[in-house]
């Protein structure tokens, strides 16, 4: 089976992008950002959104240069066989690590808030097994699944926003811009690490977008990015407005607490379970896309005809990695706050820039190949 | 090939049965002891935890025998709240389930020593929701509050929860306080918390018995919301009485509906005014090193009761009454502010108000706010809009005078 026969539409891609940004960021970002930028965290989020849009244009340029190539194939085409493969292998470690971390995010969340006595391994296993199924069935099925889940996710997001209306307190934002530019930038920097720079992973699936829809790809990418960032930012603002600076920064999963705060009269309450499902859904797509990218990247590096034989072995790797990569909660928060973005920036900014300029320099592009 | 496919699908489904048989953490309703209230007291080496647990069979309307009490009390002490909570299982056949807690009562002594430490567990545990209210047992231990049966409500904790909610809504002499707000206020530099007090009237031992307390028209022992506890940081330092609490509620915009009396202009009796809606804003700044706070309040009120002969059809009467009301509310607030200054406890959040509108000024006073707070200049501006007179206009008191 030639994998490039698979085709998804731009609309499906845009939904992927949105889910990809929302998943895991929406439960991690509010408290991480508010710790750093206090009541001005929304400024950090807006700033990050602007950078995300710029980044989307940058990635769009790369896609335009090599519309039929995945990131891994681009590396090889531009840097040559050996250096290209070496960089690609680095990318594979990053993809696998990211998949493991996303899985772990979900595991930690479930074990802290909902299934307290359940071993995290069980949650990871069940979650990954669904991922295995998704990746085996291929990109088209995943894309259609995302399309089906999109309306309910959107609807619940809007409902949560509306149901919380009675609890908004504008005072929580005052005084505006009290904190230094540095602390606001620190918040933005964290947001860039989770999840903006991760968008590079999506370059693994752009070649599968239908040929006739390619001209609209840039627009779809942009809409997806803005939509995803907007949802995360809105929930960040909700946390600020409803829970306040102090409470949000002290809580591990403030967006879940938001669900607990919903109480319309005495009948519409205790719906935090639904809010949790919302996040699980989006995290699932982020995990599966990363998983798919890891499998595909590895297959392309070693020029395998079919990537399916890699699915299960990688599942074991991710499973183990998701458990051992983070010893405890405070380690995770330390990494996320201080180090993670530097690591991701290498893959999300440095290598793509290098790729872009080397390609320009060597005057390689799709046109010339033809 | 088709057979193989079918077999493998069958096997997959069978495996699904193993995995999806249920939730790992399932807890059946008949294994749970549903706690309705927790009481926290100081004990020699930590905390004495009292749990009011619902007896499900007695709460169910059809199955209840009427012979057993609807709730039972479990008690254990431990170095930490969590430990005490788990120790309760030694007395109970079921594990305590905390998600349905309506109120948490702190003993006065525990509150005097500080709430910071016990609050941590209540905020950290995943089973605790944030929708319960917090009360302080005034002049007694929390356990005595939880042990009192209520003649109206099956579950005493519900009685406390509902009476707190109702009295906040329609009398405004109590303060509903949830844990999140409480913690935020304790942690905040520019605000200190207040919590409503609760008291047992009558002989406490009588209140624990169904025979003595529930089978009489006038229950000899009752729970009574009484006063408001003022905290400095997390430690109880004093109490506000009803009018001071009202003043506090006016100033912080918590009054939804209340009744206040004013003397008739001609001193023949009283008038009751029902406040229908309020809106409060606190603005603060620091001027020449001195904190200045302005409280702006808008009241909408109706006349509820008239004992004297006044001309309600006359517009100038209304203006006069509005002036009187303004003055009275200002006095209430001033009283509360004076009390707060006496306790050196910024219960109104003046510090936060200054922080919001004058961040630079706040930076000057922030570090010794506790000492600066008492010499804050507080200006109260009340604007009352008196609107309706109820279903009748002129009072028939006029006829009496003849």
Count of H helices and E strands in chain A? 17, 2
pLDDT reading at A327 higher than 50: yes
pLDDT value at residue B16? 78
What backbone torsions phi and psi does residue B147 show, to the nearest 5 degrees? Answer: -85, -5
pLDDT value at residue A133? 92
pLDDT reading at B402 higher than 70: no
Say which range, A19-33, A123-137, B52-66, B239-253, has the weakest mean pLDDT: B52-66
Q: What is the C-alpha to C-alpha distance for residues A189 and A24, in angstroms, rounded to an integer?
A: 16
pLDDT band at A314 (very low <50, low <70, confident <90, very high): very high
Asked if B359 lies within 8 A of A269 by C-beta distance, the reply is no
Q: Which residue of B has its CA nearest to A179?
A: B359
Residue B132 three-state SS: coil
pLDDT band at A370 (very low <50, low <70, confident <90, very high): very low
Q: Looking at the DSSP assignment, which residues form a beta bridge with residue B239?
A: B229
Q: What is the C-alpha to C-alpha distance for residues B282 and B333, in angstroms, rounded to an integer?
A: 12
The pLDDT tens digits for B117-155 are 888 888 888 888 778 899 999 988 999 999 888 888 888
Cα diameter, chain B? 109
3-state helix, strand, coil in chain B (%, to 5): 40, 30, 30
pLDDT mean across residues, chain A: 90
Q: Closest Cα partner for A297 from A356, A347, A342?
A: A347
Q: Looking at the DSSP assignment, which residues form a beta bridge with residue B92?
A: none
* Percent of chain B predicted with pLDDT > 90: 26
pLDDT band at A137 (very low <50, low <70, confident <90, very high): very high
Q: Which residue of A has its CA nearest to B282?
A: A171
pLDDT value at residue B32? 84
CB-CB neighbors (< 8 A) of B356 in chain A: 171, 174-175
Best probe of the A interface among B17, B359, B360, B363, by most A CBs < 10 A, is B359
| pLDDT, average across residues A253-279 | 84
Best probe of the B interface among A115, A127, A133, A136, by most B CBs < 10 A, is A115
The pLDDT tens digits for B294-327 are 999 998 888 888 888 777 778 888 888 899 889 9
For B:115-144, CB contacts with A below 8 A are: 123, 126, 129-131
| pLDDT, average across residues A16-43 | 92
The pLDDT tens digits for A332-341 are 989 989 999 9
pLDDT value at residue A287? 95
Spell B17-37 as b/e; 16+ CB within 10 A means b: eeeeeeeeeeeeeeebbbbbb
Residue B116: CA count within 13 A, CB half-sphere: 11
pLDDT value at residue A1? 38
The sign of the CA dihedral B152, B156, B161, B164 is: positive
pLDDT mean across residues, chain B: 86
Asked if B129 lies within 8 A of A260 by C-beta distance, the reply is yes
* Percent of chain A predicted with pLDDT > 90: 62
Q: What is the C-alpha to C-alpha distance for residues B263 and B243, in angstroms, rounded to an integer?
A: 16
Q: What is the C-alpha to C-alpha distance for residues A77 and A84, in angstroms, rounded to an integer?
A: 7
Q: What is the C-alpha to C-alpha distance for residues A15 and A225, in angstroms, rounded to an integer?
A: 9
- Judge whether B356 is closer than 8 Å to chain A, CB to CB: yes
- Judge whether B366 is closer than 8 Å to chain A, CB to CB: no
pLDDT value at residue A114? 84
pLDDT reading at B400 higher than 80: no
Spell B352-363 as b/e; 16+ CB within 10 A means b: bbbbbbbbebbe
Q: Closest Cα partner for B108 from B7, B190, B39, B37?
A: B39
- Shortest Cα distance from A276 to chain B (angstroms)? 14
pLDDT reading at A366 higher than 60: no
pLDDT reading at B158 higher than 80: yes
| pLDDT, average across residues A173-195 | 89
- Shortest Cα distance from B141 to chain A (angstroms)? 30
Alpha-carbon dihedral A77, A79, A80, A83, rounded to 10 degrees:
-130
The pLDDT tens digits for B207-228 are 777 777 777 788 888 888 888 9
Instruction: Judge contact between A20 and A59, C-beta under 8 A.
Output: no
The pLDDT tens digits for A31-70 are 999 999 988 999 999 999 999 999 999 999 999 888 889 9
- Shortest Cα distance from B367 to chain A (angstroms)? 17
Nearest to B24 among A117, A246, A270 (CB): A117
Q: Closest Cα partner for A320 from A128, A89, A106?
A: A128
> Which has more pLDDT, A204 or A366?
A204
**Beta strands B290-306 and B377-386, pairing class:** parallel
Place of tokens 């749990």: B51
The pLDDT tens digits for B237-274 are 999 998 899 899 989 888 888 888 888 877 778 888 88
Non-local (6+) Cβ contacts of B40 within 8 A are: B47, B48, B49, B50, B81, B104, B105, B106, B107, B110, B118, B142
Instruction: Judge contact between B259 and B274, C-beta under 8 A.
Output: yes
pLDDT value at residue A135? 94
pLDDT band at A299 (very low <50, low <70, confident <90, very high): very high
Nearest to A113 among B126, B131, B355 (CB): B126
Residue B3: count other Cβ atoms within 10 Å of its Cβ.
7
Q: What is the C-alpha to C-alpha distance for residues B369 and A287, in angstroms, rounded to an integer?
A: 49
**pTM (global) more than 0.90:** no
Q: Which residue of B has its CA nearest to A119?
A: B24
- Judge whether B184 is closer than 8 Å to chain A, CB to CB: yes
CB pairs under 8 A between A and B: 44
Best probe of the B interface among A123, A130, A175, by most B CBs < 10 A, is A175
């Amino acid at each position: 089976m030639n994998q490039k026969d698979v085709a998804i539409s731009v609309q499906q891609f845009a939904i992927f992008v949105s889910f990809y940004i929302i998943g895991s960021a929406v439960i991690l970002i509010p408290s991480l950002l508010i710790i750093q930028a206090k009541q001005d965290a929304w400024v950090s989020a807006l700033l990050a959104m602007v950078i995300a849009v710029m980044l989307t244009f940058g990635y769009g340029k790369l896609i335009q240069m090599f519309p039929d190539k995945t990131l891994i194939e681009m590396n090889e085409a531009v840097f040559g066989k050996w250096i290209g493969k070496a960089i690609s292998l680095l990318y594979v470690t990053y993809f696998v690590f990211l998949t493991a971390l996303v899985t772990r995010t979900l595991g930690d969340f479930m074990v802290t808030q909902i299934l307290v006595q359940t071993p995290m391994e069980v949650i990871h296993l069940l979650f990954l097994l669904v991922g295995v199924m998704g990746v085996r069935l291929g990109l088209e099925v995943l894309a259609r699944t995302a399309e089906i889940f999109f309306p309910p996710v959107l609807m619940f997001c809007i409902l949560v926003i509306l149901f919380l209306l009675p609890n908004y307190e504008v005072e929580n934002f005052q005084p505006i811009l009290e904190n230094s530019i540095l602390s606001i930038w620190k918040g933005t920097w964290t947001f860039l690490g989770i999840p903006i720079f991760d968008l590079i992973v999506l370059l693994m699936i752009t070649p599968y977008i239908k040929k006739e829809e390619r001209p609209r790809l840039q627009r779809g990418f942009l809409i997806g990015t803005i939509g995803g960032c907007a949802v995360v930012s809105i929930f960040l603002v909700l946390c600020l407005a409803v829970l306040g600076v102090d409470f949000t920064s002290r809580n591990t999963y403030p967006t879940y607490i938001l669900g607990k705060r919903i109480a319309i009269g005495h009948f519409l309450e205790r719906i935090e379970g639904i809010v949790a499902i919302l996040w699980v859904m989006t995290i699932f797509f982020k995990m599966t896309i990363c998983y798919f990218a890891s499998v595909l990247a590895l297959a392309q590096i070693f020029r395998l005809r079919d990537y399916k034989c890699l699915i299960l072995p990688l599942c074991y790797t991710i499973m183990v990695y998701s458990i051992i990569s983070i010893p405890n909660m405070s380690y995770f928060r330390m990494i996320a706050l201080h180090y993670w973005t530097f690591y991701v920036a290498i893959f999300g900014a440095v290598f793509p820039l290098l790729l872009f300029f080397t390609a320009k320099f060597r005057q390689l592009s799709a046109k010339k190949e033809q | 090939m088709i057979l193989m496919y079918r077999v493998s699908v069958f096997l997959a489904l069978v495996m699904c049965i193993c995995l999806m048989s249920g939730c790992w953490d399932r807890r059946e309703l008949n294994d749970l002891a549903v706690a309705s209230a927790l009481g926290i007291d100081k004990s020699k080496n930590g905390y004495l935890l009292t749990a009011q647990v619902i007896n499900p069979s007695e709460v169910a309307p059809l199955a209840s025998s009427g012979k057993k009490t609807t709730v039972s009390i479990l008690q254990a002490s431990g170095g930490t709240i969590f430990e005490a909570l788990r120790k309760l299982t030694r007395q109970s056949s079921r594990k305590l389930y905390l998600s349905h807690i309506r109120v948490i009562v702190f003993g006065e002594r525990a509150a005097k020593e500080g709430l910071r430490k016990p609050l941590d567990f209540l905020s950290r545990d995943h089973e605790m929701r944030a929708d319960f209210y917090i009360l302080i047992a005034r002049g007694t231990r929390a356990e005595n509050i939880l042990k009192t049966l209520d003649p109206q409500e099956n579950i005493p904790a519900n009685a406390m929860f509902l009476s707190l909610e109702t009295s906040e809504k329609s009398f405004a002499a109590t303060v509903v306080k949830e844990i999140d707000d409480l913690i935020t206020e304790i942690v905040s530099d520019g605000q200190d918390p207040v919590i409503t007090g609760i008291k047992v009237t009558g002989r406490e031992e009588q209140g624990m018995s169904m025979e003595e307390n529930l089978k009489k028209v006038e229950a000899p022992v009752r729970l009574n919301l009484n006063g408001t506890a003022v905290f400095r940081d997390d430690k109880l330092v004093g109490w506000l009485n009803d009018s001071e609490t009202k003043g506090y509620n006016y100033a912080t915009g918590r009054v939804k509906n209340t009744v206040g009396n004013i003397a008739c202009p001609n001193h023949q009796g009283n008038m009751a005014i029902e406040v229908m809606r309020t809106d409060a804003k606190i603005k603060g700044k620091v001027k020449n090193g001195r904190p200045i706070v302005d409280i702006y309040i808008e009241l909408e009120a109706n006349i509820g009761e008239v004992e004297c002969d006044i001309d309600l059809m006359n517009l100038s009467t209304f203006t006069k009454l509005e002036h009187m009301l303004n003055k009275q509310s200002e006095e209430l607030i001033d009283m509360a502010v004076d009390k707060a200054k006496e306790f050196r406890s910024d219960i109104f959040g003046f510090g936060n108000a200054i922080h919001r509108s004058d961040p630079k000024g706040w930076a000057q006073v922030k570090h010794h706010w506790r000492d600066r707070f008492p010499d804050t200049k507080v200006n109260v501006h009340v604007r009352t809009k008196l609107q309706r007179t109820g279903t009748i206009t002129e009072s028939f008191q006029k006829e009496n005078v003849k």
